[in-house]
Structure 1
């Protein structure tokens, strides 16, 4: 009687992979739960609740509506990636992934939220890592394209008055603004006039969008950033010009990215106080930012966490 053939090493690896993938998925869920708990412990809930309660219903309602609109617009960034990559996932599921990853990105940092969540959730939905990388790249490009355009325009036309101990002056800010605006316009021009539309970088295919898509990226990103600044402007009592609040937000955003602190804890507050505290007072600025964090960071995080675990449970049942 013939002996059965030995199982090949590749066959054994394939047999182990489903079990390993399940355990990796469980580990990811546990890590997410621990990170959410850590953020919850770091937040001064009493101060945030007190700050929110000081506002009247109309102010809170307007700020909350702006927050919903901004998150909704950000969720469309991955739909642009869906169009450019041609994958066939339903738009509602793509928007859900965009919302969940953005909420976690705000609170836990880009590596966990913007990157890890997209790869994890899109892999469950059947997308290959290469496609996910392209979707992620287009989403990041969309987000920062509007930042460059808005920030460059503001710094070039109306640079803010910086504290004396900041090394860069108004001339430096205008030069920085010109460079930022030039970068955004160069991308749009490249999409409009470039003859070569495809490149390969480290095994990944990069397809240059059409001018129409590039203008759409620019528009939705500018609107999203403008809405975020609108939340802060409303919570600050509209006592300052909107453009000053927008400038402070954009400078705080890049400071948060540079410092790599989850949720930009302390960084956003420091920049806002430095730029706006002399005119409004440190207390009102910090109170407004606490309310802003509650509405734009924490409330969406709670919803995204519930939605993520609901989708995980549904996936396991399936």
Structure 2
């Protein structure tokens, strides 16, 4: 008999206190009301007539191609947590992991990392039985994965001088190339450190920070780089190939960074400003804004509607499982 099993026999698990069960139900209701309020707030910010007009102006083949790339991108991002599953060794089914990550990503795109990337992931994983330690490691690995790929892809295109800083920016084209080179090297250095470091764990403010294996680190960068390139490919399709793919990708990466620095959910207005600044000319302002409206409709809004239904389904599943355990 193991020590853990012996401890369970000596001290059987305590039954949940009634006040905690009531508080948990109350917090669940508050959380669901908050989700509904977020969705209503987003719906009010969207000019739906403008979105539908932009989408209606596109050939069906263009929209189908963009939707296909969007679906693959969301699937690739959802696979980030499969890396977390392999690293932590938890045994949640693959379909549950993909469902949790896809829901979180859809809300993350529209409402920011704090709500989607952290709040929804923590909520759903804890409801499925994962402990705080495993959830924290999964969250850290996923966020690192996203930005490691960004460092490599953005660093490479910035170092290549694909885009020049617009007039009025505080640094030159040469400085942008140097910064890009440093970004790309930082991503590659991460893999080398994971492969060569003898010390694998550090304690920072009571939290253990550990390095993943080199193979996992390489997969992090590969999957994230692929995801960013798929997003760029989707916008290139919506711009109907009127500018080079690498230029569209570089503009998207610049817009993503600007959106993070501006702390604006979904980068509303920021992404549009960057695209208009860098792509007008050769494109017209109307062409750029129509492509971005279609992009938001396909990549942000449609997945969010689907994720809302999936989230409610996951909540009902978790509620039934909890009722069975109680």
Question: What is the TM-score with the length of structure 2 in the denominator?
Answer: 0.91
The answer (yes or no) to whether the contact 1:51–1:291 under 8 Å persists in 2 is yes
Match of 1:94 in 2: 97
The one of 239, 249, 254 equivalent to 1:251 is 254
Match of 1:6 in 2: none
Match of 2:159 in 1: 156
Instruction: Report the secondary structure of 2:281's partner residue.
Output: helix
More off after superposition, 194-203 vs 221-230: 194-203
CA deviation map 1:144-180 (0-9, x unaligned): 1110000111111124123212222201101210221
Match of 2:19 in 1: 16
- RMSD between aligned residues: 1.5
Match of 2:113 in 1: 110
Match of 1:262 in 2: 265
CA deviation map 1:36-58 (0-9, x unaligned): 11101101111111101111111
How many Å separate the matches in 2 of 1:229 and 1:159?
14
Query: 1:129 aligned to 2:135?
Result: no
Count of residue pairs the alignment pairs up: 308
How many Å separate the matches in 2 of 1:254 and 1:15?
47
The answer (yes or no) to whether the contact 2:279–2:288 under 8 Å persists in 1 is yes
The one of 268, 288, 291 equivalent to 2:291 is 288
The answer (yes or no) to whether the contact 1:198–1:205 under 8 Å persists in 2 is yes
Moved segments of 4+, more than 6 Å:
none
The one of 68, 75, 78 equivalent to 2:78 is 75
Match of 1:277 in 2: 280
Match of 1:238 in 2: 241
How many Å separate the matches in 1 of 2:106 and 2:231?
14
Match of 1:144 in 2: 147
The answer (yes or no) to whether the contact 1:255–1:268 under 8 Å persists in 2 is yes
Query: 1:220 aligned to 2:228?
Result: no
CA deviation map 1:164-216 (0-9, x unaligned): 12222201101210221121011011011111122233333333111111111
The one of 179, 184, 190 equivalent to 2:182 is 179
Match of 1:43 in 2: 46
Question: What is the TM-score with the length of structure 1 in the denominator?
Answer: 0.94
Instruction: Report the secondary structure of 1:200's partner residue.
Output: strand
Structure 1: state its 5+ residue gaps.
1-10
Structure 2: state its 5+ residue gaps.
1-13, 322-326
The answer (yes or no) to whether the contact 1:73–1:220 under 8 Å persists in 2 is yes
How many Å separate the matches in 1 of 2:280 and 2:17?
60
The answer (yes or no) to whether the contact 2:105–2:116 under 8 Å persists in 1 is yes
Instruction: Report the secondary structure of 1:279's partner residue.
Output: coil
